Amino acid sequence: MAAIEEDRDAVRAEIRVLRSQRLAYKQELSETRHALIRFEAHDRSLEDADDTATEHIMRAQALKVRVRADTLEDAGSSS
C-alpha cells in the first residue's frame, strides 16, 4: 500500500506543478494580449500621424502649384 500512496503523492505533486504552470501561462497570455492591444493602438496612432503628414504635404504641394501659376500669370500680365 505504501507504493500506491507514494504514487498518489507523486501524481498530486505533478498536478500542483501543472496547475501552477497553467496559471503562469494564463498570466503570460494575458500580458501578451495587453501588449498586443497597446501595440495595435500605437500602430493606429502612427498611421493617423502618417495620414496627417501626407495631407499636409499634399496641401503644401497644391499651394506651390498655385503660387507658380500666380507667378506665371503676373509675369504674363506684366509683359
**What was the pLDDT predicted at 75?**
81
**What was the pLDDT predicted at 79?**
59
State pLDDT tens for residues 11-30.
999 999 999 999 999 999 99
Separation of alpha carbons 79 and 71, rounded Å: 13
